[in-house]
Amino acid sequence: MNELLKKSAAEQSKALKNKEISAVELTNAAFDRIDSIEGKIGAFNSLTKETALNTAKKVDEKIAKGEELPLLAGIPLALKDNMNLVGSKTTASSKILENFVSPFNATVTEKLLGNLVPIVGKANLDEFAMGSSNENSAFNKVHNPWDLNKVPGGSSGGSAASVSSCEATLALGSDTGGSIRLPASFCGIVGMKPTYGRVSRYGLIAFASSLDQIGPFARTVEDAANLLEVISGHDPKDSTSLDLPVEHYADNLNGDLKGKKVGVIKELMEEGLMPEVQQALQNAIETYKKLGCEIVEISLKKLKYSIGIYYILATAECSSNLARFDGVKYGYRTKDAQNLLEMYTKTRAEGFGPEVKRRIMLGTYALSSGYYDAYYKKAQQMRALVTEEFNEAFKQVDVLISPTCPNTAFELGAKASDPLAMYLTDIATIGCNLAGIPGISVPAGFDNTGMPIGLQILAPQLQETRLFNFAYKFEQANDFYKKLANI
């Protein structure tokens, strides 16, 4: 492998500016790496070599003219395959969109192309971003680069695996209930979910519109901070987009943490944690103490209801959002329907996988006449209480910490027949989406088999700068992030 692929985006940018390597060479090196290991990992649904090399050529032209490069120009990036890129297949890893070629760009894609970031391919995911293991893809299962018999986490498993295995230096994922942070934890990299509305969702295939948020994957906190800067900003095409200035997150990573308060979420330290995960959390507490922080135990009593709340709200929204996939205007259509109703039912029965069908049925039931108030309305009321509990906690502390997941990556197929066990994987991450706050997972150690463990850090709404500061200080005080998957 080209040694430069192991470097951070910041180091690769420096090498490009110093003309140690050209952007075209770096992009080709990424494709060589993909060619050599992709058969083992399955991180990509499709590659976009022509688009990537055209972007890389523009970077080299700018360097040759001595012009200043935009942030992250020339750095190879994987785009989760539920974000639109003109001329590429955008499948959401579903049979129903298997041959759909995107006629437009997502806003985040426009921003990446505007910053001359080469998009090397569309990363595999759980179908329509529904899952915690990336085993629900209609195409390939994604394998964890640290152990090919284990899951990479979901739903952004392909994005995380591509960065962890150095097929790409950066990636974008989407996070509805932990779909960036969980794969980051399982794959030993940094994954960050911004405040709801910080990044435009225009051109992201919707799962649950009040929860979905696009965010960055990287191998360092600094790279994640820079990637968030590139994709952030107000977008008139997204009615939930926040009209706020974009901050230079990476400029404030070195803020002093002396006297700051770190809250440890009591309910996420109790039963069900692997001993090594418990130990990693203790190490994180000690790290923050050494950095001069005060540790405060915080109880979030309503957090235990978050899984129930989430699986009513998310499935209800998915039931509404996925109604558009009916075989009429685009996407898969059944071959042998005798009438319109049969065409709808057969198209959806053949086009959607079992997990997507399960969630559509749950959501349709929750929204049905006579049950709406008992389920959907009640869940929205409970969501408000969970949000209020987070707001109260942040009056006492600057950030909250917990394990990203109670366990490390599990074997492929281990939870496939038990949806409830799979859903409980997200116990620590879902509250962040319900409350619309930013969260990050950073490498925090390894279990006794060498699999990565993630530390989750949460901050109040719009406090991404604070979140990155705490994450960076933790990262630099330890060297977990320096260890790469040996593949």
So where are the chain's domains? Answer: 3-257+461-482
Given the residues 132, 179, 232, 319, select the one marked as catalytic: 179
CA neighbours closer than 13 Å in the CB half-sphere of residue 381:
7
Pick among 3.40.50.12780, 3.90.1300.10, 3.40.50.1860, 2.70.98.60: CATH of 3-257+461-482 = 3.90.1300.10
pLDDT value of residue 24:
97
**Crossing angle for the helix pair 107-114 and 221-231, to the nearest 10 degrees:** 110
483 carries an active-site annotation: no
Given the residues 13, 88, 94, 155, select the one marked as catalytic: 155
Tokens describing residue 132: 């915690």
102 carries an active-site annotation: no
179 carries an active-site annotation: yes
Given the residues 7, 80, 122, 193, select the one marked as catalytic: 80
pLDDT value of residue 1:
65
pLDDT value of residue 66:
94
From first to last of its 487 residues, the chain has per-residue pLDDT tens of: 689 999 999 999 999 999 999 999 999 999 999 999 999 999 999 999 999 999 999 999 999 999 999 999 999 999 999 999 999 999 999 999 999 999 999 999 999 999 999 999 999 999 999 999 999 999 999 999 999 999 999 999 999 999 999 999 999 999 999 999 999 999 999 999 999 999 999 999 999 999 999 999 999 999 999 999 999 999 999 999 999 999 999 999 999 999 999 999 999 987 789 999 999 999 999 999 999 999 999 999 999 999 999 999 999 999 999 999 999 999 999 998 999 999 999 999 999 999 999 999 999 999 998 898 899 999 999 999 999 999 999 999 999 999 999 999 999 998 877 777 787 788 999 999 999 999 999 999 999 999 999 999 999 999 999 999 999 999 999 999 999 999 8
* Helix, strand, or coil (residue 52): helix
* Helix, strand, or coil (residue 433): helix
pLDDT value of residue 436:
97
Cα distances (angstroms) measured from residue 313 to each of 7, 177, 433, 482: 40, 11, 11, 38
With beta carbons less than 8 A apart as the criterion, state whether 177 and 183 touch. Answer: no
CA nearest 25: which of 68, 57, 69? 57
Tokens describing residue 421: 């066990």
Length of the chain: 487
Give the Cα separation of 135 and 126 in Å (integer): 6
